[in-house]
Protein backbone atom coordinates (compact mmCIF):
# COMPACT_ATOMS: atom_id res chain seq x y z
CA UNK A 1 0.00 0.00 0.00
CA UNK A 2 1.43 3.35 -0.95
CA UNK A 3 0.24 6.90 -0.94
CA UNK A 4 -1.02 8.52 -4.15
CA UNK A 5 -1.07 12.31 -4.24
CA UNK A 6 -3.87 12.55 -6.87
CA UNK A 7 -6.09 10.34 -4.75
CA UNK A 8 -5.19 12.24 -1.57
CA UNK A 9 -6.11 15.44 -3.39
CA UNK A 10 -9.47 13.93 -4.31
CA UNK A 11 -10.12 13.55 -0.56
CA UNK A 12 -9.04 17.17 -0.06
CA UNK A 13 -11.32 18.25 -2.93
CA UNK A 14 -14.27 16.41 -1.41
CA UNK A 15 -13.88 18.29 1.86
CA UNK A 16 -13.29 21.59 0.10
CA UNK A 17 -16.47 21.10 -1.97
CA UNK A 18 -18.46 20.58 1.19
CA UNK A 19 -16.78 23.49 2.95
CA UNK A 20 -17.72 25.85 0.12
CA UNK A 21 -21.34 25.26 1.11
CA UNK A 22 -20.89 25.52 4.86
CA UNK A 23 -17.99 27.94 5.37
CA UNK A 24 -20.03 30.71 6.97
CA UNK A 25 -21.27 28.48 9.78
CA UNK A 26 -17.85 26.88 10.21
CA UNK A 27 -15.50 29.81 9.80
CA UNK A 28 -17.04 32.33 12.11
CA UNK A 29 -16.87 30.62 15.53
CA UNK A 30 -13.28 29.44 15.22
CA UNK A 31 -12.12 32.66 13.65
CA UNK A 32 -13.69 34.97 16.20
CA UNK A 33 -12.37 33.20 19.27
CA UNK A 34 -8.82 34.60 18.99
CA UNK A 35 -10.23 37.93 17.80
CA UNK A 36 -12.20 38.20 21.04
CA UNK A 37 -9.12 37.27 23.08
CA UNK A 38 -7.16 39.95 21.28
CA UNK A 39 -9.86 42.53 21.93
CA UNK A 40 -10.73 41.48 25.49
CA UNK A 41 -7.31 40.67 26.90
CA UNK A 42 -4.95 42.47 24.55
CA UNK A 43 -6.75 45.77 24.41
CA UNK A 44 -8.78 45.51 27.65
CA UNK A 45 -6.34 43.95 30.14
CA UNK A 46 -3.47 45.37 28.11
CA UNK A 47 -4.50 48.88 29.18
CA UNK A 48 -3.33 47.98 32.71
CA UNK A 49 -0.04 46.42 31.61
CA UNK A 50 2.75 48.81 30.71
CA UNK A 51 4.63 46.40 28.53
CA UNK A 52 5.40 42.70 28.14
CA UNK A 53 8.39 41.16 26.38
CA UNK A 54 9.58 44.63 25.49
CA UNK A 55 6.39 45.70 23.66
CA UNK A 56 2.74 46.59 24.28
CA UNK A 57 0.61 43.72 25.58
CA UNK A 58 -1.58 43.67 22.45
CA UNK A 59 1.54 43.42 20.28
CA UNK A 60 2.89 40.70 22.58
CA UNK A 61 -0.30 38.67 22.19
CA UNK A 62 -0.59 39.08 18.42
CA UNK A 63 1.89 36.45 17.14
CA UNK A 64 0.75 33.86 19.66
CA UNK A 65 -2.89 34.33 18.73
CA UNK A 66 -2.07 33.85 15.03
CA UNK A 67 -0.83 30.39 15.98
CA UNK A 68 -3.86 29.78 18.20
CA UNK A 69 -6.14 30.60 15.26
CA UNK A 70 -4.27 28.08 13.12
CA UNK A 71 -4.37 25.54 15.95
CA UNK A 72 -8.15 25.94 16.29
CA UNK A 73 -8.74 25.59 12.57
CA UNK A 74 -6.70 22.41 12.35
CA UNK A 75 -7.98 20.93 15.58
CA UNK A 76 -11.71 21.13 14.87
CA UNK A 77 -11.19 19.64 11.45
CA UNK A 78 -8.82 16.90 12.60
CA UNK A 79 -10.99 15.83 15.53
CA UNK A 80 -14.75 16.29 15.23
CA UNK A 81 -14.98 16.29 11.46
CA UNK A 82 -12.64 13.33 11.02
CA UNK A 83 -14.51 11.43 13.73
CA UNK A 84 -17.88 12.03 12.07
CA UNK A 85 -16.58 10.98 8.65
CA UNK A 86 -14.88 7.91 10.12
CA UNK A 87 -17.58 6.66 12.48
CA UNK A 88 -20.99 8.14 11.73
CA UNK A 89 -21.09 9.06 8.07
CA UNK A 90 -18.87 6.14 6.96
CA UNK A 91 -17.35 8.48 4.39
CA UNK A 92 -14.06 6.61 4.33
CA UNK A 93 -15.80 3.27 3.77
CA UNK A 94 -17.30 4.77 0.63
CA UNK A 95 -13.95 6.23 -0.46
CA UNK A 96 -12.37 2.81 -0.07
CA UNK A 97 -14.71 1.38 -2.71
CA UNK A 98 -12.75 3.53 -5.17
CA UNK A 99 -8.99 3.42 -5.83
CA UNK A 100 -8.48 5.62 -2.74
CA UNK A 101 -6.41 3.83 -0.06
CA UNK A 102 -6.25 4.51 3.70
CA UNK A 103 -2.91 6.30 3.25
CA UNK A 104 -4.55 8.63 0.73
CA UNK A 105 -7.38 9.33 3.17
CA UNK A 106 -4.86 10.22 5.86
CA UNK A 107 -2.85 12.52 3.60
CA UNK A 108 -6.00 14.11 2.17
CA UNK A 109 -7.39 14.82 5.62
CA UNK A 110 -4.04 16.18 6.79
CA UNK A 111 -3.86 18.53 3.81
CA UNK A 112 -7.43 19.68 4.39
CA UNK A 113 -6.90 20.33 8.10
CA UNK A 114 -3.73 22.21 7.16
CA UNK A 115 -5.73 24.23 4.65
CA UNK A 116 -8.24 25.21 7.29
CA UNK A 117 -5.43 26.17 9.65
CA UNK A 118 -4.07 28.45 6.94
CA UNK A 119 -7.51 29.98 6.33
CA UNK A 120 -7.99 30.81 10.03
CA UNK A 121 -4.40 31.82 10.70
CA UNK A 122 -4.25 33.87 7.50
CA UNK A 123 -7.55 35.64 8.21
CA UNK A 124 -6.39 36.48 11.73
CA UNK A 125 -3.10 37.79 10.37
CA UNK A 126 -5.09 40.15 8.13
CA UNK A 127 -6.97 41.39 11.20
CA UNK A 128 -3.64 42.09 12.93
CA UNK A 129 -2.46 44.03 9.89
CA UNK A 130 -5.69 46.03 9.87
CA UNK A 131 -5.20 46.94 13.55
CA UNK A 132 -1.52 47.78 13.00
CA UNK A 133 -0.41 44.96 15.29
CA UNK A 134 1.74 43.21 12.67
CA UNK A 135 4.91 45.20 11.96
CA UNK A 136 5.36 45.08 8.20
CA UNK A 137 7.18 43.85 6.30
CA UNK A 138 9.12 41.96 8.99
CA UNK A 139 6.01 40.24 10.38
CA UNK A 140 5.53 38.49 7.04
CA UNK A 141 8.41 36.25 8.10
CA UNK A 142 6.05 34.86 10.75
CA UNK A 143 3.67 33.46 8.14
CA UNK A 144 5.34 30.00 8.05
CA UNK A 145 4.27 29.64 11.71
CA UNK A 146 0.68 29.20 10.44
CA UNK A 147 1.28 26.03 8.39
CA UNK A 148 3.69 24.82 11.08
CA UNK A 149 1.01 25.08 13.75
CA UNK A 150 -1.50 23.65 11.28
CA UNK A 151 0.67 20.64 10.49
CA UNK A 152 1.43 19.91 14.12
CA UNK A 153 -2.13 20.16 15.39
CA UNK A 154 -3.54 18.32 12.39
CA UNK A 155 -1.19 15.45 13.12
CA UNK A 156 -1.95 15.46 16.85
CA UNK A 157 -5.70 15.72 16.26
CA UNK A 158 -5.89 12.97 13.65
CA UNK A 159 -3.64 10.61 15.64
CA UNK A 160 -5.84 11.12 18.72
CA UNK A 161 -9.17 10.89 16.87
CA UNK A 162 -8.27 7.65 15.14
CA UNK A 163 -7.78 6.05 18.55
CA UNK A 164 -11.07 7.09 20.15
CA UNK A 165 -14.33 5.19 19.80
CA UNK A 166 -16.71 7.76 21.27
CA UNK A 167 -17.07 11.40 20.33
CA UNK A 168 -17.27 12.35 24.04
CA UNK A 169 -13.53 11.72 24.34
CA UNK A 170 -12.90 14.65 22.03
CA UNK A 171 -14.13 17.09 24.66
CA UNK A 172 -11.30 15.81 26.91
CA UNK A 173 -8.90 16.61 24.09
CA UNK A 174 -10.10 20.18 24.01
CA UNK A 175 -10.47 20.83 27.73
CA UNK A 176 -7.53 18.86 29.10
CA UNK A 177 -5.06 19.27 26.26
CA UNK A 178 -5.70 22.27 24.03
CA UNK A 179 -6.91 24.66 26.74
CA UNK A 180 -3.82 24.22 28.98
CA UNK A 181 -1.63 24.55 25.91
CA UNK A 182 -3.40 27.74 25.00
CA UNK A 183 -2.81 29.16 28.49
CA UNK A 184 0.76 27.99 29.14
CA UNK A 185 2.52 28.10 25.79
CA UNK A 186 4.05 31.59 25.64
CA UNK A 187 0.85 33.11 24.24
CA UNK A 188 -0.21 35.21 27.26
CA UNK A 189 3.09 35.61 29.07
CA UNK A 190 6.77 34.91 28.28
CA UNK A 191 7.34 31.47 29.77
CA UNK A 192 11.10 31.88 30.00
CA UNK A 193 10.53 34.82 32.41
CA UNK A 194 8.03 32.95 34.59
CA UNK A 195 9.48 29.45 34.58
CA UNK A 196 12.88 28.13 35.55
CA UNK A 197 14.85 24.91 35.85
CA UNK A 198 12.98 21.70 35.01
CA UNK A 199 9.76 23.57 34.20
CA UNK A 200 11.47 25.18 31.23
CA UNK A 201 12.14 21.68 29.86
CA UNK A 202 8.52 20.77 30.43
CA UNK A 203 7.45 23.90 28.57
CA UNK A 204 9.85 23.04 25.76
CA UNK A 205 7.97 19.79 25.21
CA UNK A 206 4.62 21.58 24.73
CA UNK A 207 3.72 21.65 21.05
CA UNK A 208 2.17 25.11 20.81
CA UNK A 209 5.31 26.74 22.26
CA UNK A 210 7.28 26.18 19.08
CA UNK A 211 5.12 27.85 16.43
CA UNK A 212 4.35 30.67 18.89
CA UNK A 213 8.04 31.30 19.58
CA UNK A 214 8.78 31.14 15.85
CA UNK A 215 6.10 33.74 15.12
CA UNK A 216 7.17 35.95 18.03
CA UNK A 217 10.81 35.90 16.94
CA UNK A 218 9.76 36.83 13.39
CA UNK A 219 7.53 39.69 14.62
CA UNK A 220 10.49 41.00 16.63
CA UNK A 221 12.93 40.51 13.76
CA UNK A 222 15.08 38.28 15.94
CA UNK A 223 16.10 35.48 13.66
CA UNK A 224 18.27 32.76 15.19
CA UNK A 225 19.01 29.08 15.56
CA UNK A 226 16.10 28.67 17.93
CA UNK A 227 13.71 29.18 15.01
CA UNK A 228 15.33 26.22 13.26
CA UNK A 229 14.87 24.14 16.41
CA UNK A 230 11.21 25.13 16.51
CA UNK A 231 10.74 24.06 12.88
CA UNK A 232 12.62 20.81 13.51
CA UNK A 233 10.45 20.06 16.55
CA UNK A 234 7.26 20.51 14.53
CA UNK A 235 8.47 18.38 11.63
CA UNK A 236 9.81 15.54 13.77
CA UNK A 237 6.81 15.33 16.11
CA UNK A 238 4.36 15.57 13.19
CA UNK A 239 6.18 12.83 11.30
CA UNK A 240 6.14 10.50 14.30
CA UNK A 241 2.44 11.11 14.95
CA UNK A 242 1.53 10.61 11.31
CA UNK A 243 3.42 7.31 11.20
CA UNK A 244 1.36 6.24 14.21
CA UNK A 245 -1.85 7.52 12.58
CA UNK A 246 -1.03 5.64 9.39
CA UNK A 247 -0.89 2.34 11.23
CA UNK A 248 -4.14 3.10 13.02
CA UNK A 249 -6.13 4.19 9.98
CA UNK A 250 -5.04 1.11 8.05
CA UNK A 251 -6.21 -1.09 10.88
CA UNK A 252 -9.53 0.75 11.32
CA UNK A 253 -10.45 0.91 7.67
CA UNK A 254 -9.19 -2.43 6.38
CA UNK A 255 -9.85 -4.94 9.15
Partner 1 sequence: MSAAEPAKEPTIRARGVHKHFGARHAVRALDLDVPQGVCFGLLGPNGAGKTTALRMVYGVTRPTAGTVEVFGIDVARSPRKVRARLGVTLQDNVQIEALSPRDNLKIFARHHLLTGTARERRVEELLDFLELRSHADVPVVALSGGYRRRLAIAMSLIHDPELLVLDEPTTGLDPAVRLALWARVRELRARGRTVLLTTHYMDEAERLCDRVLILCEGRAICEGAPRALIAERLAREALELDCTPEEEARWLADESWKRLRSGRRLVVYGDSVAPLVARLRAQDGGDGRPLVVRPANLEDVFLAATGTSLGGDA
CA angle 48-64-107, nearest 5°? 160
Minimum CB separation of residue 176 from partner 1 in Å reads 32
Of 14 and 39, which CB lies nearer to partner 1 in the complex structure? Answer: 14
* DSSP line for 93-118: HHHTTTT--HHHHHHHHHHHHHHHHH
* Residue 90 binds to partner 1 (criterion: CB under 8 A): yes
* Residue 98 binds to partner 1 (criterion: CB under 8 A): yes
Minimum CB separation of residue 166 from partner 1 in Å reads 20
* Residue 84 binds to partner 1 (criterion: CB under 8 A): no
Of 19 and 244, which CB lies nearer to partner 1 in the complex structure? Answer: 19
* Residue 21 binds to partner 1 (criterion: CB under 8 A): yes
Of 5 and 200, which CB lies nearer to partner 1 in the complex structure? Answer: 5
From 40, 99, 132, 221, residue interacting with partner 1 (rule: CB under 8 A): 99
Angle between helices 145-161 and 57-76 (to 10 degrees): 40
Tell me how long the chain is.
255
**CB-based contact 152:158 (threshold 8 Å):** no
Minimum CB separation of residue 118 from partner 1 in Å reads 21
- How many CB atoms lie under 10 A from the CB of residue 99? 11
H or E stretch covering 220? helix 209-220
**CB-based contact 34:65 (threshold 8 Å):** yes
**Candidate ranges 5-13, 41-49, 115-123, 175-183; the one touching partner 1 (CB under 8 A):** 5-13
Rounded distance between C-alpha atoms, residue 60 and residue 69, angstroms:
15
Of 109 and 230, which CB lies nearer to partner 1 in the complex structure? Answer: 109
**CB-based contact 8:107 (threshold 8 Å):** yes
* Residue 212 binds to partner 1 (criterion: CB under 8 A): no
From 50, 97, 165, 196, residue interacting with partner 1 (rule: CB under 8 A): 97
**CB-based contact 78:109 (threshold 8 Å):** yes
* Residue 17 binds to partner 1 (criterion: CB under 8 A): yes
Residues found near partner 1 in the complex (CB under 8 A)? 1, 4, 6-7, 10-11, 13-14, 17-18, 21-22, 89-91, 93-101, 253-255
Amino acid sequence: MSVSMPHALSVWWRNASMYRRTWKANLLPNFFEPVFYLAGIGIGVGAYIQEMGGTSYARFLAPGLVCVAAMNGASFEATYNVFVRLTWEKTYDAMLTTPVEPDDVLLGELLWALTRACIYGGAFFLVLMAFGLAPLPIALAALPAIPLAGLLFSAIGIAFTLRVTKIDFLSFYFTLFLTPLFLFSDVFFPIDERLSGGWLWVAEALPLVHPVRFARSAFAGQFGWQMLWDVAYVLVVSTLLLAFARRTIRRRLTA
